[in-house]
Amino acid sequence: MRTYKLALIGFGNVGQGFTQILRDQSESLAQRFGAEYKIVAVCDKLKGSLYHPEGLDPALLLDTVQAGKSLETLKTEASGWDAQETIAGCGADVLVELSYTDLETGEPAASHLRQALKAGMHAVTTNKGPIALHFPELLKIARENHVQVGIEGTVMSGTPTLHLGLDLLAGAEVQKIQGILNGTTNYMLTQMEQGISYGDVLADAQEKGYAEADPTGDVEGFDAAGKVVILANVLMGASITLNDVEREGITGLTVDDITAAQAEGQRWKLIAGVEKTPDRIKASVRPTRLAVDHPLASVGGPTNAVTFTTALLGDVTLIGPGAGRLATGYAILCDLISIDRITQ
């Protein structure tokens, strides 16, 4: 049995979703893959930090935070470490970086990732900030230190968009990517079709764990723009930044706009896209009215969809969950299984 010690930086929706998967699936993962995963450290600014070299019980971690208690109320070998001390002292094999997303600086996640990779730990993240801004640098550090960086959950949560693009479409030459890349806004637009107000559906999306800690990033289109940057840079060899994405969110749309479109057989969707032309990369995020029989018009709720237009295969479309605790927690598992396969 191969054992992987994990350190989780951040224990919000995604960290808890992933921990729930380990709580419920550890035995079956061990049987199916011959690998076991032990959380040896958790560090969260609000919920507390703790470390135990033999591993922390996932059920106990979840029960503690769900009861509103600090993790530091649990008895362990050490507690109260900050992120830097956790990475330096935990002896983990993999850093699972799930701290707050900052699309302007990528911090503090980028520093956590650099520190872990330089210390010879693999790193897995669902955090778009450091990947949209610093992926080439992080990949270089990982290669120099002979470790892996997993980024599957940065786009379309656990729906394996980046593995599909990087591994399976690698030879097909991706020329254009278009889709619905933000679960929160797609959920909101779908609910608003039922006449529910913008404010109510936003609160509902936050409650369900789809929205970012600051939902401005979702409704103003920054989250989808960050994902477009990642897709362009990771899959199309571009080196664009958020400033290169023409961006408009859904804050200008009202229930009246949505019902007016419905009356004309159309639906509003927040469409994100990136296209390679001979001389440039064109990237955008904008609300778009689609005919109801357009393939993307039927993608409702927090579901995302992406169509890769390739030179050799034509169009390849992937539809699946784009947000949510378990769906994004699954992305971590997907990257961990991939690291296990690559490094065996």
Taking the least distance from each CB to ligand HSE, the nearer of 8 and 188 is 188
Q: Is 98 helix (H, G, I), strand (E, B) or coil?
A: coil
Taking the mean position of all CA atoms in its chain, how far away is CA 113? 15
Residue with tokens 């892996």: 148
Taking the least distance from each CB to ligand HSE, the nearer of 90 and 224 is 224
Please tell me whether residue 184 binds ligand HSE under the rule CB under 6 A: yes
Please tell me whether residue 93 binds ligand HSE under the rule CB under 6 A: no
Partners of 233 in the beta sheet?
A: none
Instruction: Please identify which residue in 17, 129, 179, 322 interacts with ligand HSE, judged by CB under 6 A.
Output: 322
Taking the least distance from each CB to ligand HSE, the nearer of 218 and 244 is 218
C-alpha span between 62 and 71 (Å, rounded): 9
* Cβ-based neighbours of 105, under 8 Å, separated by 6 or more: 129, 133
Please tell me whether residue 182 binds ligand HSE under the rule CB under 6 A: yes
Instruction: Please identify which residue in 97, 152, 212, 335 interacts with ligand HSE, judged by CB under 6 A.
Output: 212
CB of 147 to ligand HSE, least distance (A): 24
Q: Contact 87/112 with Cβ under 8 angstroms?
A: yes
Tell me the window of 55-63, 82-90, 177-185, 305-313 that interacts with ligand HSE (CB under 6 A). 177-185
Partners of 281 in the beta sheet?
A: 276
Beta-strand ranges (E) seen in the chain are 2-9, 35-44, 48-51, 78-79, 94-97, 122-125, 149-150, 174-180, 245-247, 266-276, 281-291, 303-310, 314-321
Tell me the window of 43-51, 179-187, 196-204, 272-280 that interacts with ligand HSE (CB under 6 A). 179-187
Do the bridges between strand 35-44 and strand 48-51 make them parallel or antiparallel, or are there none, so unpaired?
antiparallel
CB of 193 to ligand HSE, least distance (A): 18
CB of 331 to ligand HSE, least distance (A): 9
Instruction: Please identify which residue in 110, 323, 326, 332 interacts with ligand HSE, judged by CB under 6 A.
Output: 323
Please tell me whether residue 281 binds ligand HSE under the rule CB under 6 A: no
Phi, psi of 301 (to 5 degrees): 65, -155
C-alpha span between 289 and 277 (Å, rounded): 24
Instruction: Please identify which residue in 97, 102, 152, 218 interacts with ligand HSE, judged by CB under 6 A.
Output: 218
Taking the least distance from each CB to ligand HSE, the nearer of 60 and 213 is 213
Here's the x/- map for ligand HSE, 220-249, by CB under 6 A: it reads as: ---x--------------------------
C-alpha span between 239 and 310 (Å, rounded): 19
Q: Contact 78/88 with Cβ under 8 angstroms?
A: no
Instruction: Please identify which residue in 157, 161, 309, 310 interacts with ligand HSE, judged by CB under 6 A.
Output: 157
Instruction: Please identify which residue in 48, 183, 249, 329 interacts with ligand HSE, judged by CB under 6 A.
Output: 183
Question: Which positions are annotated as active-site residues?
Answer: 227
Cα distance from N-terminal residue to C-terminal residue, the chain: 12
Taking the least distance from each CB to ligand HSE, the nearer of 210 and 268 is 210
Instruction: Please identify which residue in 51, 210, 268, 308 interacts with ligand HSE, judged by CB under 6 A.
Output: 210
Q: Contact 125/230 with Cβ under 8 angstroms?
A: no
Please tell me whether residue 190 binds ligand HSE under the rule CB under 6 A: no
Contacts with ligand HSE by CB under 6 A lie at 157, 182-184, 210-212, 218, 223, 322-323
